[in-house]
Amino acid sequence: MTDRAAASRDAALRASALRAANGRSRFSRGPRLTWLWEWAKAFPAAVLVFLVMRTFFVEAYKIPSGSMERTLLVGDFLLVNKLVYGAELPFSNRRLPGIRSPRHGDVIVFEFPVDPSKNFVKRLIGLPGDTVSMRDGQLLRNGEPLAEAYVVRTEPGVDPVTAEFRWQRSYLVKSAAAAPAVALRAVAVRAVAAPAVAAPAVAAPAVAAPAVAAQAVAAPVLVAEAVAAPVLVADGTGNSAAEGYRPSRNNWGPLVVPAHQFFVLGDNRDNSLDSRYWGFVPDSLLRGTPVFVYYSFVPDSSASLSWLTKIRWSRLGTRVR
């Protein structure tokens, strides 16, 4: 009886040890590894949802420079609505239909035309067909001055000139200042050409005839010069029109915005690399418009964890206007 009891205990112990060993098997799907298996199954779906949202709906951006202060600050993180203007289909040059077209005053995110690998954020000033210009820092659109409460001036007394503005010459329009110059030249031609017509009736001698003929031949050359004079005011033809055009940061234009392109400026007008320097933005480079600031902190090189210790709490959730 004792031997049977001992054998029974040994069998129970072996069974218990076997169950414990099976529970520790690396191939087991016991309670300890269930969460990992469930997470692994959900991960591909989560990645797919993220990619779809990022491609067609919203995308996060960080503000690296002060070109849009006060509207946007260095260290702001934005959520950008990509659906509003129509998201671009991956691996193609096609876009989905947008909710609406870009409007004056929109803050837009776009690929930098000079380097499409970079994204810029600026304010949309000129739509296709608009005439834009600036006089002593005052922005004009279609001849009307704009009231821009969002604009910041950090160097109001400085108006630098740079060679980067030369591209503007090809988009200048005829200005009132150029018209008198053309008219004066035409009057001068008529004054010189008039004696050439009247001279034959007065000057009978044969000696005078060659001189009269010479004047008559020269007159069309002067007239041709007067006809060509208006081309000196650039109208988009690419001629060397505006030899006297000297644009600066606060004085330039008027420029006509071409079809399918936009003219953009930074709100910090004295510290912004924008359309004044490198030209228009093709509509194909639009990425979207910022919706709100979801995170913001004060960049501080002296603090190792400034993104945690210098959070701008008051800016969290701020809408971009």
- What pLDDT shows up at residue 3? 67
- Confidence label for 174 from pLDDT (cuts 50, 70 and 90): low
Section 252-272 average pLDDT:
96
- What pLDDT shows up at residue 30? 52
pLDDT at 183 over 70: no
- What pLDDT shows up at residue 12? 74
The tens digit of pLDDT for each residue in 218-245 reads 333 323 333 333 333 334 444 444 678 9
The tens digit of pLDDT for each residue in 2-24 reads 666 666 777 777 777 666 656 55
Please tell me the pTM assigned to this model. 0.66
- By percentage, how much of the chain surpasses pLDDT 70? 68
pLDDT at 97 over 70: yes
Q: Pick 277 or 90 by higher pLDDT.
A: 277
Q: How far from the centroid of its chain's Cα atoms is residue 178's Cα?
A: 31
Do 231 and 182 form a contact (C-beta atoms < 8 A)? no
Of 303, 313, 242, 294, whose CA–CA distance to 58 is shortest? 294
Structure tokens at 56: 């067609």
Rg (CA), the chain: 36
Do 80 and 294 form a contact (C-beta atoms < 8 A)? no
> What backbone phi and psi angles, to 5 degrees, belong to 218?
-75, -25
The tens digit of pLDDT for each residue in 115-140 reads 999 999 999 999 999 999 999 999 99
| The amino acid at 125 | I
Of 286, 288, 264, whose CA–CA distance to 277 is shortest? 264
Classified by CATH at the fold level, domain 54-129+151-166+259-315 comes out as Umud Fragment, subunit A (2.10.109)
- Confidence label for 32 from pLDDT (cuts 50, 70 and 90): low
Distance CA 259, CA 167 (A): 17
- What pLDDT shows up at residue 292? 94
Do 303 and 191 form a contact (C-beta atoms < 8 A)? no
